[in-house]
Amino acid sequence: MRHRTDVAGPVLRALLGLVVLPLLSACLPAPPAGPAPLGTFSVAEATIAEMQTAMAQGRVTSRELVAQYLDRIARYEGTLNAAMTVNPRALDEARRLDEERRAGRVRGPLHGIPIALKDNIHTTDMPTTGGALAFDGFRPPYDATLVTHLRAAGAVVLAKTVHTELANWVASGMPGNYSALGGYGLNPYDPRPDPRDGWSDGRPALSVGGSSSGIGTAASLWAASVGTETSGSILTPSNATMLVGIKPTVGRISRYGIMPITADQDTAGPMARTVADAAALLGVLEGPSPDPRDPVTAACPRPPGGDYTTLLREDGLRGARIGVPRAHFYEPLVVPGESAPRGGLTEAQAALMAAAIDVLRRQGAEIVDPADVPSVVAPRRDDNILAWDICAGLENRKGADAGCSVVLKYGMKRDFTAYLQTLGAAAPVTSLAALRAFNLANRARNAIRYGQAQLDISDEMDVERDRERYEADRARDLRLAGTQGIDAAIAEHRLDALLFPGSSGAGLAARPGYPSVIVPFGTVPNAPRPPLPADFAARPAPLGVTFTSTACSEPRLIELAYAFEQATKRRVAPELFP
């Protein structure tokens, strides 16, 4: 396992030995000193549009962009642990794209742009491991559909990012961005491990979210990245690392070639430093037409030309109706049948969200407050989504799972098994049972440092015998989160979107597969429980705002998010990684 302190680990050894040292010796008179860029154009905080303009003007080449990012990875990877692997052919790929540009061929807005992928997305030329020891070194027999789209658009796949192992469906309590292969990723806004007794196992003191990783994108180790989400795994890390994240409607982007949890909720999506960058990336990921290998990709119409950047309007908030779901998401709420309240915001979080609402008003939006989600405030426990959790952990094994949704654990058994079958003879394991057995046999190698409760409760599901229970739970998920949840709130108040603090609404939108866009807005004290030591001097935690609506509403959400971003411009770069 590669630990954060292993600065000569596999990524850096490959990077230094195969790419950076030959590059520096060939192209520079001496190694660079300090954080200065390799050329006159700096990639630090540069947008995709700025890179394209610079390449068009001849001020920088794609190869030089890649070289700068590789230099930053070499400089900062030992501290952050952002990458699982780096593409040793990235410079050559960028050179070929530069040759195309000189010949007059520019494929689109991502031509020559270095992008990173979550390490559960298939690439045939780099390992795809999911962070799992059983998949160490695994090269899949086919590319993910979205990777095919990226390459056709001229993107350079620079690296695979760390992430929570198997998209955080291995164990209960696994820290964000931890995996058996990757170790612990740290947050560029406070890249220190947690010092608290009982928590000092290497995990970050400032959460990085999960299961996707925003670490490298936030620190400008690449232009943008592609994450995946089943329930919060794009929105949560974007919130934690001050990024824009677009969690699309399930089906807008093909899932073919992505390690699954459940097809009911899985999706890929962009993570970037600006709404414009995320919008440009979304159009490429979606592709020009539905994927026959993922039938739900016909669910949503594409914008004209597949170009979401045409939706970037500074006046996009004028006349918009934005709902504030106060109950639970802003203010504590007692769930029927319980005595203690749940949810609510701290004083600092509430003040930040009040400031965000003021911005929306000043930009011409009509605020509907409150615009509570009906299933959140439903007085009957059977109709209240807060009383209907996802089955997770050994406490929700078979026989003890009557009060929770089996959709994820059933889906993992159904869809991960089907996924393994697509790998043919290349499959490292052939079933969940075989994966669990491998993990048990390799405990000494830290295969399951936090156990494998999620795999255990998934493997006990029987796809045929448990189908009726799954279908009933799936219908209830859709009713409580969709029909009587987001759909009802949007319709009742005639809203364009609901406004959630941070990623707090991610789980609600995940069940019906609805889209959200999160935008950075500010910081609040990092105040976990139990508290960090007073002399630790914890740095503040980012907090964004999320716009959420019904299926296929990404075009409107991008308009709203861009207008909010342009009115605020509150994202700041992590100062420790200039």
| pLDDT above 50: residue 185 | yes
Q: Do the domain assignments include residue 237?
A: yes
Mean pLDDT, the chain, integer: 94
How much is the average pLDDT of 49-62? 98
| pLDDT above 70: residue 32 | no
Q: Do the domain assignments include residue 296?
A: yes
| pLDDT above 90: residue 162 | yes
* pTM for the structure as a whole: 0.95
Q: What is the pLDDT of residue 40?
A: 85
Q: Do the domain assignments include residue 128?
A: yes
How much is the average pLDDT of 542-564? 98
Q: What is the pLDDT of residue 25?
A: 33
pLDDT tens digits for 374-425? 999 999 999 999 999 999 999 999 999 999 999 999 999 999 999 999 999 9
Could you tell me which residues come within 8 angstroms of residue 223 by beta carbon, excluding any fewer than 6 positions away?
A: 43, 46, 48, 51, 65, 69, 113, 114, 115, 217, 272, 277
pLDDT tens digits for 105-133? 999 999 999 999 999 999 999 999 999 99
Could you tell me which residues come within 8 angstroms of residue 133 by beta carbon, excluding any fewer than 6 positions away?
A: 1, 180, 181, 438, 439, 442, 445, 446, 447
In the chain, the amino acid numbered 446 is: N
pLDDT tens digits for 449-487? 999 999 999 999 999 999 999 999 999 999 999 999 999
Instruction: Given the residues 42, 118, 409, 413, select the one marked as catalytic.
Output: 118
Q: What is the pLDDT of residue 31?
A: 34
Map 63-101 to HEC letters. HHHHHHHHHHHHHHHHHHCCEEEECCCHHHHHHHHHHHH
Q: What is the pLDDT of residue 14?
A: 52
* CATH code of the domain in which 46 resides: 3.90.1300.10
pLDDT tens digits for 256-305? 999 999 999 999 999 999 999 999 999 999 999 999 999 999 999 999 99
The answer, yes or no, to whether the previous bond of 213 is cis (omega within 30 of 0) is: no
Instruction: Given the residues 62, 179, 211, 220, select the one marked as catalytic.
Output: 211
DSSP of 154-208:
T-EEEEEE--SHHHH-S-TTPPTTEETTTEE--BTTB--B--STTT-SS-BSS--
Q: Do the domain assignments include residue 306?
A: yes
Q: Do the domain assignments include residue 376?
A: no
Alpha helices in 347-466 (DSSP H): 347-362, 374-377, 407-411, 417-422, 432-441, 453-459
- pLDDT category of residue 34 using cuts at 50, 70 and 90: very low
233 is catalytic: yes
- pLDDT category of residue 3 using cuts at 50, 70 and 90: very low
413 is catalytic: no
Q: Do the domain assignments include residue 58?
A: yes
Q: Do the domain assignments include residue 523?
A: no
The Cβ-side half-sphere exposure at 123, using a 13 Å CA radius, reads 29
Q: What is the pLDDT of residue 555?
A: 98
| pLDDT above 70: residue 135 | yes
3-state secondary structure at position 486: helix
Beta carbons of 266 and 230 less than 8 angstroms apart: yes
Q: Do the domain assignments include residue 254?
A: yes
Residue 27 belongs to domain spanning: 10-311
3-state secondary structure at position 546: strand
Q: Is 321 exposed, middle or buried (0-12, 13-18, 19+ CB in 10 A)?
A: middle
211 is catalytic: yes
**Number of domains comprising the chain:** 1
| pLDDT above 80: residue 29 | no
- pLDDT category of residue 15 using cuts at 50, 70 and 90: low
